[in-house]
Amino acid sequence: MAPSVASTLQSHKTWLGVATVTVFGLLVLSSNGGTRVDYHEEALLKRGSLAGGLHPARPPPFVGTFKRRQETEVCSTDACKSFADSVIKSRALNYTGIDPCTDFATYTCGNWWDTHDYRDDQSSVGTLSVMSDVNTAIMRAILESPYSDNSTFTGDDLEADKEIFDKMIAAYDSCMDTDTIDALGAKPLQDLFAKYEEESSDFDLKTTDGLTNALIWLLKYGGSGIISAQTWADDKNPNITTIGLGNGAFGMDSKEYYNDTESVANYTVAIVGMFDILFGEEKHDTHASLAKELIDLETALIYATPDPSKAGDVEYYYNVQNLTQVDASIPEISVSKYLKAFVPSNYTLSTAIVLTPEYFPAISPIIANASAETLDAYIKWVLIQNWVTRLSNDANAPYRRFQNELTGKDPEAIGERWTTCLADVDANLPWIESAFFVQVAFSPEAKIFGDRIISDIEDIFMEKLQGYEWMSASVKTKAIQKVLNMVEKIGYPDKSPNVTDPVALSNLYAPLAISNTSYFDNGLAYVNFSTTNSWKALLHPTDKDIWFMTTPTVNAYFNPPSNEIAFPAGIMQQPLFNLDLPEYVSYGAFGAVAGHELTHSFDNSGSHYDENGAYTDWWDNSTLANFEKKTSCFVDQYSKYSIVGPTGESLNVNGELTLGENIADGGGLNAAFAAWKKVDAEKPNPGLTGLEEYTTEQLFYLSFGGVWCGKGRPAELVRRIRVDPHSPMPVRILGTVANQQGFKEAFNCPVKEPTCELW
Ligand SMILES: *[C@@H]1O[C@H](CO)[C@@H](O)[C@H](O)[C@H]1NC(C)=O
Ligand SMILES: *[C@@H]1O[C@H](CO)[C@@H](O)[C@H](O)[C@H]1NC(C)=O
Ligand SMILES: *[C@@H]1O[C@H](CO)[C@@H](O)[C@H](O)[C@H]1NC(C)=O
Ligand SMILES: *[C@@H]1O[C@H](CO)[C@@H](O)[C@H](O)[C@H]1NC(C)=O
Ligand SMILES: *[C@@H]1O[C@H](CO)[C@@H](O)[C@H](O)[C@H]1NC(C)=O
Ligand SMILES: *[C@@H]1O[C@H](CO)[C@@H](O)[C@H](O)[C@H]1NC(C)=O
Ligand SMILES: *[C@@H]1O[C@H](CO)[C@@H](O)[C@H](O)[C@H]1NC(C)=O
Ligand SMILES: *[C@@H]1O[C@H](CO)[C@@H](O)[C@H](O)[C@H]1NC(C)=O
Ligand SMILES: *[C@@H]1O[C@H](CO)[C@@H](O)[C@H](O)[C@H]1NC(C)=O
Ligand SMILES: *[C@@H]1O[C@H](CO)[C@@H](O)[C@H](O)[C@H]1NC(C)=O
Ligand SMILES: *[C@@H]1O[C@H](CO)[C@@H](O)[C@H](O)[C@H]1NC(C)=O
Ligand SMILES: *[C@@H]1O[C@H](CO)[C@@H](O)[C@H](O)[C@H]1NC(C)=O
Ligand SMILES: [Zn+2]
């Protein structure tokens, strides 16, 4: 796939995360598809069938005691009824026999799991993916309708708005035009290879110059081969944008796959299949031996990469080297020449941050030992992976099949075309798409309510900071200043770019020519546009007004060097966020998300950045020692949770890899609860009709649990255990509530002490 907003993300950002694919130094959000069926329609349908047929045996009553509601007031508006209904439909049918203290995940989501199924093209499904389906349906309607006359723009603004709309539609139409795409088959990529061959006299891969030339050519077409280079806010001096160097991309997500016979066999079939299609089936035997060699090469390379848990370890990855040093660490490639091909001509190239310090020296002998044929096959394969999705479904079948196998889908599964095309617009015209989405899906009232929740949570967080006995006074003072300095981005970008200003967007995208007939050529244009822009960033102070997610995205992030948290309009939707419901609903769900991102600024990675976003040593030794004692509790706690893989094998959560996310989940919910209690104390929230058995505290936690109702196909669960810094969805419920005193009191659990607690 072509570089996108997501692929320019830096690994030192942490995500609330649906699914993330992490290659060290490069964090890519997997794109999510969608259908038009929204949450309520789907759930209603299932409920109908349940009421018609199934009569589950009545379980024995739960013997624990619940605190009964004191207040009699309940909310019975349509909004409240509908929310209560969704809680009931998610909850296990036999919930009365389930102890919330020990299994709040099943308690909250038992029936959700039973009544939600994967689409063929989905490897996981959850509350957030259902929300995303709603957002994609909104975007699809915009993309498949004429320009709306409802716009309030006039004059130049109106002209510009129409122009960017047309650009977006051309991009979408070129992708939807499967007649043209099918007629071309593999030809557009074969033409690109013809170009590669034309220039290959410069690509003597066994010389430093030749290999470097080939890698430069590859990066111009979006491929990170062997190494990667990207622009990057300097962690210690975040006002400056510098260069980050790391390993290249790999065809399989993690080391374990390269040591698994069946995965390697499937991968081999994909490579040979694509080579046969592109370079001729008559060379099948050669392709088979090339595939083996290139997989051996990739295996050696990936085993030289750091463990994924190092991605958030600034101490590990922050290695400033001058280019003489970098070049000396891997003499087979001239990294300085590679970079000179991309940095602006008036940029003074002197140093870079080497994110993978052991990788460069380790791969030098591997590259030296590889034959020219193997390197050539490897480079071609990287290029294929970048462009294959722009070919016809026939021409990319072996690759698609393999991606499906990796994530546990039916090998032949294929998403509806529009989901691919919407994802393409999202990745490549992110701010035009964002502009049209917020026009219909975000209100000024939502922004005000979101602001309030976030600032309530920040206030609580600072109050709590005051009270920690394990922190020294000086660390506390700085920590509070850090919260005071936190930049909150809510809804949509209004500066860089200003998505409410069509003229600004028209100017931004002016250099990008889009045709409505050539999906492949549009891809080439995007790569050139985004590559050029990303290297230009070196000439200016770090732009702290940019966003790393588009507005329909159901996600959120904390970005340490900018000391900022961001919440796209896409996540400020129901069931997480709703102005018409008692506040515990939005505080328990969206508030926990906001608290999660804020807490990231004090997790094992974020805590290293000071109140100005600079990576510094601002923790004294004894406070740090206390901090580390507390974090090691989380590592032990989460390492005990497990998932079940495709062959029934049990696989434990990696407590180190997921540490930062688990800390954020715990602190986020803790702060959200305290913030809501304060709001509730001023004006008590009513209960919910149909759920009178619950206190409002319990409803708060049910709202939280509902966020993480979800499940994944077994192969996908295994993949995420290996690469995803987030715990599996049910574990995000179980582990988080185990760490909440508020929860244990609300449900009158026998042990009130949190299992682990930090913030
Ligand atoms: C609840 O129902 C599920 C089946 O839907 C069953 O597996 C489980 O054992 C039941 N739990 C209790 C406590 O009855
Ligand atoms: C435009 O306005 C019409 C009528 O007021 C409404 O039905 C339609 O949904 C609006 N379209 C958009 C995109 O807002
Ligand atoms: C970084 O830039 C901000 C805003 O321009 C400025 O306030 C701050 O002092 C700068 N920090 C450093 C370390 O130069
Ligand atoms: C590969 O897997 C085998 C067991 O299947 C294991 O013994 C070996 O250590 C693994 N190799 C590496 C490099 O991880
Ligand atoms: C390999 O491919 C086969 C056939 O598509 C599939 O059934 C199997 O699950 C795949 N194995 C792995 C480990 O991906
Ligand atoms: C690069 O760093 C090395 C090691 O610190 C040093 O010896 C050398 O002089 C530096 N080269 C330049 C051009 O700065
Ligand atoms: C670098 O060159 C670009 C155009 O090539 C120009 O716009 C920019 O102002 C120059 N920057 C510096 C710092 O000289
Ligand atoms: C060198 O390459 C050969 C064949 O490609 C391979 O068998 C051997 O293991 C490699 N040696 C090293 C040190 O990588
Ligand atoms: C964004 O653009 C709109 C419309 O031109 C303008 O009203 C608004 O002030 C701009 N926002 C910022 C922060 O400049
Ligand atoms: C491309 O745009 C032209 C002019 O608007 C239109 O006539 C044509 O049908 C479009 N082609 C496709 C494939 O959408
Ligand atoms: C973008 O395209 C222009 C014009 O073809 C070319 O000169 C430039 O090198 C390309 N830039 C990149 C980064 O590919
Ligand atoms: C803090 O710990 C570091 C590393 O263990 C040590 O080098 C340093 O001297 C300690 N500082 C103080 C003030 O004790
Ligand atoms: Zn997170």
Kindly report, residue by residue over 457-490, the tens digit of the pLDDT. 999 999 999 999 999 999 999 999 999 999 999 9
Render pLDDT for 543-589 as a digit per residue (tens, 0 to 9): 999 999 999 999 999 999 999 999 999 999 999 999 999 999 999 99
Ligand approaching nearest to the C-alpha of 241: 3
Give pLDDT, residue 222: 96
Which tokens in the block code for residue 701?
Answer: 């936690």
**Euclidean distance between CA atoms 352 and 321, whole angstroms:** 6
Give the full edge-to-edge strand order of the sheet including 227-233.
227-233, 241-247, 351-354, 320-322
Ligand 10 centroid – CA 147 distance (Å):
15
Quote the Cα angle for 341-308-131, to 5°.
95
Specify the residue with its C-alpha closest to ligand 1, atom 4: 94
Instruction: With a cut of 50, say whether residue 44 has pLDDT above it.
Output: no
For 352, other C-beta atoms within 10 Å of its C-beta total: 22
Cβ neighbourhood burial of 453 (10 Å; 0-12, 13-18, 19+): buried
Render pLDDT for 233-280 as a digit per residue (tens, 0 to 9): 999 999 999 999 999 999 999 999 999 999 999 999 999 999 999 999
Provide the pLDDT confidence category of residue 70 given band limits of 50, 70 and 90.
low
Instruction: With a cut of 50, say whether residue 33 has pLDDT above it.
Output: no
Q: DSSP labels for 102-128?
A: T-HHHHHHHHHHHH----TT-SEEEHH
**Euclidean distance between CA atoms 14 and 560, whole angstroms:** 9
How much is the CA Rg of the chain, to the nearest whole Å?
26
Render pLDDT for 97-147 as a digit per residue (tens, 0 to 9): 999 999 999 999 999 999 999 999 999 999 999 999 999 999 999 999 999
Render pLDDT for 268-312 as a digit per residue (tens, 0 to 9): 999 999 999 999 999 999 999 999 999 999 999 999 999 998 988
Mean pLDDT of 51-72: 36
Give percent above pLDDT 90 in the chain: 89
Q: In the CATH hierarchy, which fold is given to the domain comprising 23-156+444-503+544-759?
A: Collagenase (Catalytic Domain) (3.40.390)
Give pLDDT, residue 230: 95
Ligand 8 centroid – CA 223 distance (Å):
25
Q: DSSP labels for 420-487?
A: HHHHHHHHHSHHHHHHHHHHHH--HHHHHHHHHHHHHHHHHHHHHHHH-TTS-HHHHHHHHHHHHH-E
Contact call for residues 734 and 109 (beta carbons, < 8 A): no
Pocket of ligand 10, candidates 172, 173, 418: which has the most ligand atoms within 8 Å of its Cβ, to mutate?
Answer: 173
What is the pLDDT of the chain when averaged over all its residues? Answer: 90
Cβ of 539 closer than 6 Å to ligand 7, yes or no, is: yes
Cβ of 624 closer than 6 Å to ligand 8, yes or no, is: no
Q: In the CATH hierarchy, which fold is given to the domain comprising 186-390?
A: Neutral endopeptidase; domain 2 (1.10.1380)
**Euclidean distance between CA atoms 478 and 281, whole angstroms:** 65
Instruction: State the pairing for strand pair 227-233/320-322.
Output: unpaired
Of 691, 690, 689, 695, whose CA–CA distance to 673 is shortest?
Answer: 695
Ligand 10 pocket, Cβ-based, cut-off 6 angstroms:
173, 177, 516-517
Contact call for residues 392 and 178 (beta carbons, < 8 A): yes
| CA 360 to chain CA centroid, nearest Å | 27
Q: DSSP labels for 231-271?
A: EEE-TTSTTBEEEEEEE---SSSSHHHHT-HHHHHHHHHHH
**Euclidean distance between CA atoms 742 and 759, whole angstroms:** 13
Ligand 4 centroid – CA 17 distance (Å):
30
**Euclidean distance between CA atoms 519 and 171, whole angstroms:** 7
Instruction: With a cut of 50, say whether residue 451 has pLDDT above it.
Output: yes
Ligand 8 nearest atom to the CA of residue 371, by list position: 5
**Euclidean distance between CA atoms 385 and 251, whole angstroms:** 8
Instruction: State the pairing for strand pair 124-126/227-233.
Output: unpaired
Specify the residue with its C-alpha closest to ligand 2, atom 13: 148
Same fold, 23-156+444-503+544-759 and 186-390: no
Give pLDDT, residue 150: 80
Give pLDDT, residue 72: 64
The pTM for the full model equals 0.91
Give percent above pLDDT 70 in the chain: 91
Give pLDDT, residue 151: 81
Mean pLDDT of 494-503: 97
Ligand 11 nearest atom to the CA of residue 529, by list position: 1
Ligand 11 centroid – CA 528 distance (Å):
6
Contact call for residues 172 and 139 (beta carbons, < 8 A): no
Give pLDDT, residue 218: 97
Looking up tokens 């723009």, which residue turns up?
153
Q: Which has the minimum average pLDDT: 71-75, 82-86, 205-209, 628-632? A: 71-75
Task: Return the C-alpha torsion angle 587, 737, 595, 433, nearest 10.
Answer: -80
Strand pairing partners for 552? none
Domain ranges of the chain: 23-156+444-503+544-759, 186-390
Ligand approaching nearest to the C-alpha of 303: 4
Render pLDDT for 684-697 as a digit per residue (tens, 0 to 9): 999 999 999 999 99
